[in-house]
Structure 1
Amino acid sequence: MTAVDTSWIAVPRRRRNGWKGLRAFVIRWGALVALGVVWEVAARLIGSPFFPPISKVIGRFVDLWFSGPPSALFLTERFGTDLLPSLGRLFGGWGLGVALGILLGVAIGRSRTFGDYVEPIMHFARAIPPPALLPIFFILLGIGDGMKISLIAFAVVWPVLLNTIDGVRSVEPLHLDTSRVFAFPRGKIFFGIVLPSASPKIFAGLRVSLAVALIVMVIAEMSSTSGIGYNVVIAQRSFQMLDMWAGILVLGIIGYVLTAILSLVETRVTRWHQGSREGVQ
């Protein structure tokens, strides 16, 4: 029997995927451009000093942080006093919360007995809004970066923890039974079966936790002397509306860029999961 050449099928499929990606890109950026146009027109029609046009907000955004000399890569001094401290607190708190959430989630998900002991405490603690704990963190840890990073980590840990527990407990039992039959070592079971199987739900928790981290960072910085949150509050209190909106714009850009990077990582890590879903469909 002669083999049938099916390589021609891949060409139209790649072409369809390319058109689909281009269409998604045009729709995504077209929506942002349309939003900017609506904002510009609405702000000029309203004429309120509290709602400036997006063109002025972007201009102020560039003046504040990206109008420096070429030798400094066009970064201003305020970039180091405003953006860098906020990014350091954001990544520090998010990274700490993610690490704790995954470690505890795997432990609870793998041990029903351990979960029975700690889950009531866990559900009680996660029901407390993190901003309500700001005075307690302030009393215990002071006003420094340690307090802000700890508060961000406390808020981040819960969506990661819950999704990790759910992901670990939803691992296919047949895969675990097969690994026991072949006497796989625990490390191979964990890194080769449990963690990959739970990774789609873990990434779902990471996406939620990233947005939570950005929100709590702004709240924590309201009692600080540096950072984006601090500058937004000071600008609002001094009626510097362009500075306030520029701070809000940079927060949106940070959130969008970090979410896009996380989505790229998720696509590469969970490529097998996307392929299995397409195969089912």
Structure 2
Amino acid sequence: MFAWARERGGGDGQFAMEGARRTAVPFLLRWSVLLGAVACWEPAARAQGSVYFPPPLRVVRHARDLWFSGPARHLFLTRAAEDTILPSLCRMAAGFTLAAVAGIALGLAVGRSRRAYALCNPVLQFARAVPPPALVPVFVVVFALGTPMQVASIAFSAVWPVLINSAEGARATDPLRLQAAAVLRLTAPERLWFLILPSALPRIFAGLRLSLSLSLILMVFSELLPGSDNGIGFTLTDAQTRSDLLTVWAALVLLGALGFLLNTGLLAVEKRLVGPRMSARRTA
């Protein structure tokens, strides 16, 4: 009996080690390129001694001292972080939320009707092809400089990927399911909620990921314009004016980290919403 318990304990320990190994190997592979680049950059930058390419550890230390060395009751955010990171995230969140809500609603409405899609598709493709920075002078005239102009430029430019992908997802709904819904006499809201929206979710999230990256880019671009007095974009221009290249590099690293974290969070939401629906659809 004791021998069986030892064998079972050894087997459980072996399974735990194998599980840890299976988790660690993909993690190391996923971060190996970044770690290798940093490992090469650090000694090369220290050997060169150029102010234009500081060592990455120095950049990270400067970013921590500048934005993340505050008290614990403020989530370690400094006063500079409250004037730099939070305003940018608020503008980006407002613009992205408006783009997501409007894009999903209009996309599902357009995608449900073949005639509406045929009429609106040329306009959608034209609007999507217009470079977002080219529209900034129009928004400056309409909204003047300030936060409303920045939020409007983010929302208007980020809405098109969500709208087009939502329309394509709605059009891809299985016709047999729609016919079954008609036989069961489901109402239009019921068909939208139980058939069209679940079918369009993968395409919707594909558009949301594109819009998220666009929102981050446009958030920085809108803060580079005259009239901005806070935000990450303003910090970049201000540091460049003062020839503070260490802060410039720290802001670039901050933008990369924010983009990665936001995209990871959106992927987690997508996996939570789309994964169970897809598995249930396969089962059905």
TM-score in terms of structure 1 length: 0.88
Tell me what 1:120 maps to: 122
Report 1:27-106 matches (<5 A). 27-106=29-108
Report 1:118-157 matches (<5 A). 118-157=120-159
Q: Secondary structure at the match of 1:27?
A: helix
Over residues 61-109 of structure 1, what are the superposed CA-to-partner deviations in whole Å (9 max), with x where a residue is unaligned?
0111111234433221111110110000010001101111111110110
1:216 aligns with 2:218: yes
**1:44–1:77: structure 2 CA closer, same or farther, 3 Å change rule?**
same
Q: 2:124–2:164: 8 Å Cα contact kept in structure 1?
A: no
Tell me what 1:200 maps to: 202
Tell me what 1:237 maps to: 241
CA distance in 2, matches of 1:270, 1:189: 18
Letter in 2 for 1:92: A
Tell me what 1:251 maps to: 255
Over residues 9-53 of structure 1, what are the superposed CA-to-partner deviations in whole Å (9 max), with x where a residue is unaligned?
xx9xx9998765543222223333223212212322332211111
CA distance in 2, matches of 1:198, 1:72: 40
Q: 1:200–1:273: 8 Å Cα contact kept in structure 2?
A: no
Q: Secondary structure at the match of 1:213?
A: helix
CA distance in 1, matches of 2:244, 2:34: 25
CA distance in 1, matches of 2:95, 2:47: 42
CA distance in 2, matches of 1:18, 1:132: 50
**1:15–1:122: structure 2 CA closer, same or farther, 3 Å change rule?**
farther
Ranges in structure 2 where 5+ consecutive residues have no aligned partner: 1-11
Tell me what 2:230 maps to: 226
Q: 2:84–2:231: 8 Å Cα contact kept in structure 1?
A: yes
Shift of 1:123: 1.9
Q: 1:141–1:147: 8 Å Cα contact kept in structure 2?
A: yes
**1:175–1:278: structure 2 CA closer, same or farther, 3 Å change rule?**
closer
Aligned length: 268
CA distance in 1, matches of 2:89, 2:185: 45
Ranges in structure 1 where 5+ consecutive residues have no aligned partner: 1-10
Letter in 2 for 1:25: F
**1:15–1:53: structure 2 CA closer, same or farther, 3 Å change rule?**
closer
Over residues 189-225 of structure 1, what are the superposed CA-to-partner deviations in whole Å (9 max), with x where a residue is unaligned?
1111110111011111111111111011110000211
Tell me what 1:4 maps to: none
